[in-house]
Amino acid sequence: MGNLIKEKDDKGRLHIDTPLMGESLVSKKFLKTTDSTEYFRMHPDINVLKIGGQSIMDRGAKALLPIVDELIKLKDEYKLLLMTGGGTRARHVYNIGVDLGMPTGVLSKLGDKVSWQNAEMLAVLLAKHGGVKIGHGDNMEQLTMFCKEGYLPITTGIPPYGFFEHPAEFGSIPPHRTDCGAFLLAENIGAKSLIYLKDEKGLFADDPKKAGNKTGDLKFYDKISVDELIKLDLDDLIIERPILRMLQHSKCLKQLQIIDALNHPELIRDALNGKHVGTIIHK
């Protein structure tokens, strides 16, 4: 704790004597001194599962219910936090907003409602098994308690940027959507793992859905470093692009995994057990 000191001038302003006093908080040289050798992890046993909106939720019962059944079997063995994507309905509202010339921050506010709807539906499906929808506020400190009490916490994947969303590098679609939200939360609570549940087995050199019958010709990356992936500068990615820079600078997360939960819900257990069953992107 620093001591209160008075400036040596006639203004008599009080300051707290700390190592940060008088330092510029934008100085790269100084900021490097604030790094820690080890970061506190609030929820080191929590596994964050991001359930795709367009890839899973939008496909309805045929896609979602087998995953729900798998999650019910897993909830008492693993501490889980489920996060939901937005999907097609978010794309629809983005399209209308873009047509009206809405800025990126407004589009972010519009799109976050859909992720909340998906979280609500998932919470209803899991209600009798302990599913509970939580917000981004005070509940985050209580995640481990929820799991220990037999609950299965569920929240929206959209990060709470809203009007404070960063300007998009290309176009106007918000760059930080539900994949980014899952990464940011997993990183900042010190989660054990971050697993993206998608409808493809992982990262390809191009979008397999656009390749048609030529999917077999696409290069598949089962494991790749984030630095290598950035250098490849692929036109399309299976996760949101800002995650790559986030992973470069992450303090707790060392990797993430993308799995095909649509066709193989059983892979969720394997991924939770630390098995390599999709694409691993690592530091």
In one-letter notation, the amino acid at residue 72 is I
User: How far is residue 56's CA from residue 63's CA, in Å, rounded to a whole number?
Assistant: 6
Q: What are the sequence ranges of the domains in the chain?
A: 43-282
Contact 44, 28 (CB under 8 A): no
β pairing state of 152-156 and 203-204: unpaired
**Dihedral (C-alpha) 142, 146, 152, 158: value to the nearest 10 degrees?**
-10
Is residue 15 very low, low, confident or very high in pLDDT (cuts 50, 70, 90)?
Answer: low
User: How far is residue 258's CA from residue 51's CA, in Å, rounded to a whole number?
Assistant: 11
CATH superfamily, domain at 43-282: Acetylglutamate kinase-like (3.40.1160.10)
CA distances from residue 138 to 129, 131, 134, 142 in whole angstroms, order as listed = 23, 18, 9, 8
Q: Would you say the pTM of this structure is higher than 0.85?
A: yes
pLDDT of residue 4 exceeding 70: no
Is residue 217 very low, low, confident or very high in pLDDT (cuts 50, 70, 90)?
Answer: confident
Residue 194 burial (10 A CB sphere; 0-12, 13-18, 19+): buried
What average pLDDT does this structure show over 110-136? 96
Which residues, 6 or more positions from 123, have their beta carbon under 8 angstroms from its beta carbon?
131, 132, 133, 154
Which residues, 6 or more positions from 208, have their beta carbon under 8 angstroms from its beta carbon?
200, 215, 218
First to last CA, the chain: 35
Percentage of residues of the chain with pLDDT beyond 90: 80
Q: Could you tell me which residues are beta bridge partners of residue 51? A: 84, 197
CA distances from residue 17 to 4, 14, 36, 38, 102 in whole angstroms, order as listed = 6, 9, 21, 25, 46
Which residues, 6 or more positions from 276, have their beta carbon under 8 angstroms from its beta carbon?
222, 223, 257
Q: Which of 242, 244, 214, 251 is nearest to 229 (CA)?
A: 244
Give 102-116 pLDDT, tens digit per residue: 999 999 999 999 999
